[in-house]
Amino acid sequence: MTLFPALLAAALLLVRSGLSKARRPEPAARAFAELGIPAPRVVVLVGAVAELAAGAACAVRPEPGAVAVGSLYLVFAAIVAGQLRRGVTASCGCLGSTDSPPSRTHVALNLALVAVAFGASASSPPAFAALLRSHPAGTLVLAAAATGAALLLAAAVSLVPAALGAYRRPA
């Protein structure tokens, strides 16, 4: 159960991302088009559904849900790394917005979430509903903390690279 709170935060970030992409697929579709992926809008919408399903699965069936979450974050790390290799500076569209350009910070965050998800899958995390029945108050606090962590992770994707860039010395 040690990694369950972090897994829940990773799953909630996926749900937020999936909802954002379903509502505004254009930024991510542009990023996929730049990478030469055919039918980018369809790929984004299918991906959004996969994100929602994987995130929700973590609450109901945490072990397979964690594997799905880890797999998605691994794919995201590869996509962002591919953008960086090609010198793409346009947003990856990960959060359904145009303000999250690809960065090494984003790749590192994705890889950290891969480790969290796969680590959690190996530790047999409990189902959220079972936790809620056995420890209702504690589970609600856990859910609130995981939600806050997911929002901080989303902010980190767009704010940390810009903040680090502000401290670079001009060449």
> What is the reported pLDDT for 148?
92
pLDDT at 117 over 90: yes
* Other beta carbons less than 10 A from residue 67's beta carbon: 18
Residue with tokens 């790749």: 107
pLDDT in tens, 4-63: 889 999 999 999 999 999 999 988 888 888 888 888 899 999 999 999 999 999 888 889
Token duo for residue 82: 């591919």
Using alpha carbons, select from 92, 96, 122, 97 the residue that is nearest to residue 107.
92
Reported as a pLDDT band with limits 50, 70 and 90, residue 98 is low
Structure tokens at 70: 């880890």
**Token pair recorded at residue 27:** 């930024």
The number of beta carbons lying within 10 Å of the beta carbon of residue 168 is 7
Q: What is the pLDDT of residue 158?
A: 78
Q: Looking at residue 125, what DSSP letter applies?
A: P
